[in-house]
Structure 1
Amino acid sequence: MTQKLNNTVLSSLPARIGRPRYDRAQLTAGILHIGVGNFHRAHQAVYLDNLFQLGEGLDWAIVGAGLKPYDEVMRARLADQDWLTTIVELEPEGLNARICGAMIDFVEVDPAVLIARLTDPAIRIVSLTITEGGYFVDPNTGGFDAGHPEILADLHDPANPRTVFGILVAALLKRRDIGLAPFTVMSCDNLPENGHVTEQAVVGFAEALSAETSAWIKGNVAFPSGMVDCITPATGDRERSLVTETFDLEDAAPVVCEPFRQWVLEDKFPSGRPPLEKVGVEFVEDVAPYELMKLRILNGGHAAIAYPAALLGHYFVHDAMNDPLIRNYLRKLEEEEVIPTVPPIQGVSFQSYLETVMTRFSNPAVGDTIPRLCFDGSNRQPKFILPTIQERLDKEQSVDGLALETALWCRYCLGEDETGHQIELQDGNSVLLKNWAVSVFKQGEEPFEMPDLFGPLGKDARFLGAFAEAVSQIAAIGVADTLQNYIEGGSGNARPERRIPAG
């Protein structure tokens, strides 16, 4: 019989569903988290739940918060089930379910109520998952966008802020004025140097108020960076039905995710922190090497398989990984050109990390899609691929495989696969990219213009030569044979330059 998730059913759940072994009534708040989405509940909340299962850190339970209409929807769903969440881990061999009880409250979606809760002495960490676009980064300078209309509105009325950063500054100042130590601000968003980006936003807002406010925050508030990782698809009717039909449990907001999760954190918590090292969190002095490892090996790996897989007609990532051409191309590219650019990390085997990444990509239960990996290439390539190319060129090293990845992206931007089926480019620069692809593959223009997003690489003769060679092969013999040639080729052997054939 299907049971509705709440505290009263925990003791009667089937044995195959994990549940809190601790007394939730003994939990007290320590962390306020803004942005209670799927990733937070599959990642940070699970680590804390694991800690509570050990009977430790019970004063670090989560209080949820948010400022958007969808946060109000989430709050209502979770309130009706005592803030519990069903976590379904998508193991290749089958589904595992557990009930996560790490959250004990969720603040009303009201800035004034949120500021009041942030002055609670028990709240020592404020964590964030507000998406990469929520940090008000100026696209031209990379700094804080103090001229954004939402920020300007808060600066005009700082006593009644409505943005996350206006609220954080207001709460920090209230704590200072009543003699409370500041909380630590910890981003859990999946972006490089997330601690620096968060500090930039908080300090940038404070600086727009006054130099004194900015100086106090700089001197007193910690912003640790962290590398987070766990593939977590969106929840819809399919996922809710899966929980009901598989586990006889009615959950209005379940989470499905892969069984893998990783969290590497800078150990900068002056107001204290839970002992998460006991449940697998890695605390380090500098998280940047771990971020670079993930950025180049995992995110770069996603980019590498995306475009050849799409051109060869694959839809699911696990199907692409079952194609020897895609799998062997990825392995050769990673081992010969990508991994050598990642600085060594003591105690970390990049080869083992790569094997884990490939296993994760191959998990059919996750159901990750090639169109998702292809999305927004003009934003992803400059982050995940182009810096690796530049570093290898700076060291006078071959970029044959990486140039091939770029050429495959260009071929994808033509908007059709190898069989002529249309591909819709999901990219803010789709017109620019389509024109670029046409000039390279259809019109045979030489010299061809590379888009501005390539920066100095767009005029580097060594890169352009390798790119032109890859384009020439794709145009002449197709994607599959080009991949096979690369796989069978020697490591780092430069091929003779070829002109792009005229259309």
Structure 2
Amino acid sequence: MLHLDDDMNSETAAWQEAGVTLPAFDTTAMRQATNQSPVWVHFGAGNLFRAVHAPIAQRLLDLGATDRGILVAESFDPSIIDQAYTPFDNRFLQVILRADGSMDAALIASVAGTYPLGENPESFQDLRQVFRDPGLQMVTTTITEKGYALVDSKGHALPWIAPEFEGGPTKAKSAIGVITALLLERYQAGAFPLALVSTDNFSRNGERFGQAVRRMADEWISRGLAGRDFGGYLDDDMRITFPLTMIDRITPNPDQEVGRRLEAMGMADMSPFRTRGGTAMAPYANTEETWYWVVEDDFPAGRPLLEKAGVYMTDKDTVNAADQMKVTTCLNPLHTALAVFGMLLGYPTMSETIADPDLKALVTRLGYVEGLPVVEDPGIFSPKEFLRRVIEIRIPNPGLPDTPARICTDTSQKMPVRYGNTISKYLRTDGLDASALEAIPLIIAAWLRLLVGSDGQGTDDAGRTVKLSPDPRLKELQGILSGIPLNGSAGRETLSTIIRPILADISVFGTDLNTTPLAGKITDALAAMCQGAGAVAGTLHQVARTW
């Protein structure tokens, strides 16, 4: 049996027999060159990094487009480094799960060094030296959207951020705090340029990244913990930039079945595990074949030749168009629609949801009929082809162990972008008629139907109790919907009155839906879905057969 840290030169035949693609570069020379003069640091050592960023770095090394690897730091769950990197000599497998059921595995060895922040103060000191190097070109992040949050809705520091505001760089623990402290180090070393590239999955991520770093710096400056010139350094776009990006690769948590298949190929110790911090990891990252990374080309210190690895390097407007295409019409709205109905209808995986003919009809209409008319073509790839791959290849992929429950997390926060944006365009654009929307109001009604219940529990279409996914507004929304019976005894007017405050919430839908033709459609669909067991499937089927 092969282990991840087995020698690639003396064991080449065994690796090949196992079907694992090996790096085409000298890993020892790569590590030496990277440690002497690093160019790329990444924050966030989880599965998306292992599925996208590290393989891109490896591709550049394989092509001879660079001799430097990538350094990775982890602040949220430092035990990821101790448990998923160090025992395996910083190597892991990237596993591509194809729609035909086949599987490709590659040994990723592009990680030249790791920094578990928070548990080991020496790691932060070592990282300070990296940021003092004038040759450092870029920092990328996958810290999730929540990682950029510093204050609450009233502008008050979040409890875990307040000590960082007050204590300055020496008290930095969060990713934003640590990055800002390291930028201060870089400023003091010579005010060297650097690009800070958010690759987290939300719109205008670079702008949010820049705002968070500057807010942290301003708090320090106002307390005399950093000089005012540091603020000028961060505001100088000739030295510090925050490019916009769009990233897309479905990367579920490691699947036990993938581990078993790898062990059958000859790999040892491939079981997934939970780190001490609770993160789902494995000696591999399982992901899909399709991926996109679109980046605003604004790198004041230079950059790796990312385009040689398939990254789209372009301008800000193109990134925005690609991002809007993905999150408002061609992927994310379809994902949420399938996930909501998947939880109601009891489907355990996303691939099983779209195998339902009625649900496939729903997302086909949602994407092609209601979504594409408001899409701005980014020009670098076809929205129609992107959508086709989503519906025909990506979501149906049975190898991806993705679940409706995972996709349903924080749905109230996703509604404004995934549906509110399209609704707004239909309301304000000449030639478009909001009353023609059918899929979107049906999905909103299904979401409300899913939330009917209490204490984080709902009821599916078969009458079974279902645990709802985490959502910051779950308790509030369930409180509003608690008066809705699922036996058909509530009249339409009663339902309309109950859901009126939710439909009026601009923070959820981007507009007061009570002032639009959609309110009546949502009410009618919800009423139909509350007629007892099987009502959701029946309502969906009745509508879908007309499309």
> TM-score scaled by structure 1?
0.89
Which residues of 2 match residues 274-293 of structure 1 at below 5 A? 274-286=304-316, 287-293=319-325
**Distance 1:280-1:438 versus aligned 2 partners, 3 A rule:** same
Q: 1:40 is matched with which residue? A: 49
Q: Which residue of 1 aligns with 2:243?
A: 224
Residue aligning to 2:112: 104
C-alpha distance in structure 2 between counterparts of 1:487 and 1:26, whole Å: 59
Deviation of residue 411 (structure 1)? 1.4
Q: 2:190 aligns with which of 164, 179, 184?
A: 179
Identify if the C-alpha distance between structure 1 residues 329 and 156 changes in structure 2 by more than 3 Å, giving closer, same or farther: closer
Q: Paired residue for 1:495? A: none
Q: Secondary structure at the match of 1:384?
A: helix
Alignment of 1:87-126 (within 5 A): 87-92=94-99, 93-109=101-117, 110=121, 111-126=124-139
Q: Quick one: structure 1 residues 112 and 406, their matched pair in 2 at CA, closer, same or farther if it must change by over 3 Å?
A: same
Write out aligned runs for 1:231-250 (5 A): 231-235=250-254, 239-250=258-269
Asked whether the equivalents of residues 401 and 486 of structure 1 are also in contact (C-alpha less than 8 Å), the reply is no
Aligned residue in 2 for 1:151: 161
Matching residue of 1:457? 512
Instruction: Verify: 1:384 aligned to 2:418, yes or no.
Output: yes
* Residue in 2 that maps onto 1:468: 523
Following superposition, the deviation at residue 464 of structure 1 comes to: 0.9
CA distance in 2, matches of 1:434, 1:166: 35
Structure 1 match to 2:295: 265
Kept in 2, the 8 Å contact 1:125–1:184? The answer is yes
Q: 1:336 aligns with which of 354, 369, 372?
A: 369
Alignment correspondent of 2:274? none
| In structure 2, C-alpha distance between the alignment counterparts of 1:346 and 1:240, rounded to whole Å | 39
Give 1:431's aligned residue: 475
Contact preservation (8 Å) 2:42, 2:73: yes
In structure 2, C-alpha distance between the alignment counterparts of 1:455 and 1:435, rounded to whole Å: 21
**How much has 1:117 moved relative to structure 2?**
2.7
Q: How many residues align?
A: 484
Matching residue within 454, 475, 487 for 2:544: 487
Deviation at 1:83, TM superposition (A): 1.5
The reply on whether 1:302 has 2:335 as its aligned counterpart is yes
Instruction: Report what 1:493 is aligned to.
Output: none
Q: Which residue of 2 aligns with 1:127?
A: 140
Aligned to 2:93: 86
In the other structure, the counterpart of 1:366 is 400
Query: Does 1:420 pair with 2:463?
Result: yes
Looking at structure 2, the residues matched to 64 and 213 of structure 1 have their Cα atoms a distance apart, in angstroms, of: 25
**CA distance, structure 2, for counterparts of residue 266 and residue 455 of structure 1:** 27
Does the Cα contact within 8 Å between 1:4 and 1:249 map onto a contact in 2? yes
**Residue equivalent to 1:213:** 230
Matched residue type, 1:400: E
Alpha-carbon spacing, 1:175–1:154, altered in 2? closer, same or farther (3 Å): same
Does 2:193 correspond to 1:163? no
Query: Given that residues 340 and 447 in structure 2 are in contact (C-alpha distance below 8 angstroms), is that contact kept between their aligned partners in structure 1?
Result: yes
Would the aligned equivalents of 1:263 and 1:281 in 2 still touch at CA under 8 Å? yes
The answer on 1:21 being equivalent to 2:47 is no
Native 8 Å contact 1:90 1:366 kept in 2: yes
Alpha-carbon offset, residue 277 of structure 1 = 0.8
User: What is the CA distance between 1:208 and its match in structure 2?
Assistant: 1.9
* Separation in structure 2 between the aligned mates of residue 293 and residue 247 of structure 1, nearest angstrom: 42
Give the SS at the match of 1:292: helix
Q: Secondary structure at the match of 1:289?
A: helix
User: How much has 1:7 moved relative to structure 2?
Assistant: 5.5
User: Amino acid of the residue matched to residue 374 of structure 2?
Assistant: T
Match of 2:278 in 1: none
For the 8 Å contact 2:42–2:71, the answer to whether it is kept is yes
Letter matched to residue 140 of structure 2: S
Query: In the alignment, what sits opposite 2:65?
Result: 56
Q: Does the aligned pair in 2 maintain the 1:88–1:96 contact within 8 Å?
A: yes
RMSD: 2.4
The answer as to whether partners of 1:7 and 1:82 remain within 8 angstroms in 2 is no
Of 375, 399, 402, the match for 2:437: 399
In 2, are the aligned partners of 1:146 and 1:208 still within 8 Å (CA)? Answer: no
Partner amino acid for 1:483?
A: L
Counterpart CA distance in 1 for 2:422 and 2:133 is 45
- Identity among equivalent positions (%) equals 26
Deviates further, 412-421 or 177-186: 177-186
- Secondary structure of 1:346's aligned partner: coil
Q: Mind listing any 5+ residue stretches in structure 2 that lack a counterpart? A: 222-227, 271-281, 453-457
8 A Cα contact 1:87 1:98, kept in partner: yes
Please report how far the alpha carbon of residue 440 of structure 1 lies from its aligned counterpart in structure 2 after TM superposition. Answer: 5.2
- Residues in 1 aligned to 2:110 and 2:423: alpha-carbon distance in whole angstroms: 43
Q: 1:302 to 1:137 in 2, by over 3 A?
A: farther
- 473 and 157 in structure 1: CA distance in 2 versus 1, 3 angstrom threshold: closer
* Match among 340, 343, 353 for residue 320 of structure 1: 353
